[in-house]
Amino acid sequence: MSRPRPTAGTPRRVGVYGGTFNPVHLGHLVLAEEVRERLGLERVLFVPSNLPPHKWARLPSGAERLALVRLAIRGNPAFGAVDLEVRRQGPSYTVDTLRALARRQPVPTELVFLIGMDAFEEIATWHEAEHLATAAHFAVFPRVGHPLGDPRLHAPESWKLTGPRRLRGGLRAWRTSAGTLVWLVPTEQLSISASAIRARVARGASIRYLVPAAVERAILRGGLYRRGATNDRGIPPRDRKGA
């Protein structure tokens, strides 16, 4: 696998890919690899977010979802997994995660936050939205039903986006007043969703070829996503009121 090396004048750039990853699947991995390659990122860090415990299914804890991500990316030195948000318990704000990740980098690094167009359309409502542009660049990719569109329609006004600059490979880039960039990255999408995978496991259908083999084995061995199995605290649903 080719690993882009920074050339003189190009800063080290590291991607940050947040999500519930419940579970991580090939759609996530293909997307991360494509953005990494197209933007010349040195690495992509997967950051599973916390989720409230679920009532009836054997849903994995944050630590278990992180473990699945680790299995999924094993053997790819350009991918990493970060436990920041699952360790914090409770909700985490992206701006805080980006600041914490920036502090952790051993050498000067620019972070690039990977975000689907569906989420980018809501970006102005995020916590400290105006400061997000200071914390990272943004790589926006299309999602089903959310084609790439002018980011000025959604970004906070304080970002004062200027552009676009048209780049190779159909990329377009806008610049924020903080000097960071918002790239629109026209990626292909595998139509795989975590919710469809959970539904398949719950009804006993195969998830082979939708997730890496090691992830499939861990899900089946751990009895994750099985409908009617014990909940996060190990209590069978029939023993609980209102289950």
Question: Quick check: 19 binds ligand ATP (CB under 6 A)?
Answer: yes
Determine which residue in the list 4, 12, 20, 200 makes contact with ligand ATP, applying CB under 6 A: 20
Residue nearer to ligand ATP on the CB measure, 51 or 100: 51
Q: Which of 205, 234, 232 is nearest to 220 (CA)?
A: 205
190 lies in the binding site for ligand ATP (CB under 6 A): yes
Minimum separation from the CB atom of position 236 to ligand ATP (A): 25
State which of positions 64-123 bind ligand ATP (CB under 6 A). Answer: 116, 119
Give the 3-state DSSP-derived string for the chain, with helices as H, strands as E and coil as C.
CCCCCCCCCCCEEEEEEEECCCCCCHHHHHHHHHHHHHHCCCEEEEEECCCCCCCCCCCCCHHHHHHHHHHHHCCCCCEEECCHHHHHCCCCCHHHHHHHHHHHCCCCEEEEEEEEHHHHCCHHHCCCHHHHHHHCEEEEECECCECCCCHHHCCCHHHCCEEEEECHHHCEEEECCCCCEEEECCCCCCCCCHHHHHHHHHCCCCCECCECHHHHHHHHHHCCCCCCCCCCCCCCHHHCCCC
214 binds ligand ATP (CB under 6 A): no
Question: In angstroms, what is the minimal distance from the CB of 159 to ligand ATP?
Answer: 20
For the bound state, the minimum distance from the C-beta of residue 54 to ligand ATP, rounded and expressed in Å, comes to 12
Q: Least separation, in Å, of the C-beta of 83 and ligand ATP?
A: 16
Report if residue 194 touches ligand ATP, rule: CB under 6 A.
yes
Judged by beta carbon, residue 102 or residue 196, the one nearer ligand ATP is 196
Q: How far is the CB of 117 from ligand ATP (least distance, A)?
A: 8
If binding means CB under 6 A, how many residues of this protein chain bind ligand ATP?
A: 16
Instruction: Determine the Cα–Cα distance for residues 28 and 50; give it in Å rounded to an integer.
Output: 17
Q: Which is nearer to ligand ATP, 187 or 231 (CB)?
A: 187
Per CB under 6 A, 154 contacts ligand ATP = no
Asked whether position 46 contacts ligand ATP by CB under 6 A, the answer is: no
Q: Can you tell me which of 16, 21, 71, 181 binds ligand ATP, judged by CB under 6 A?
A: 21
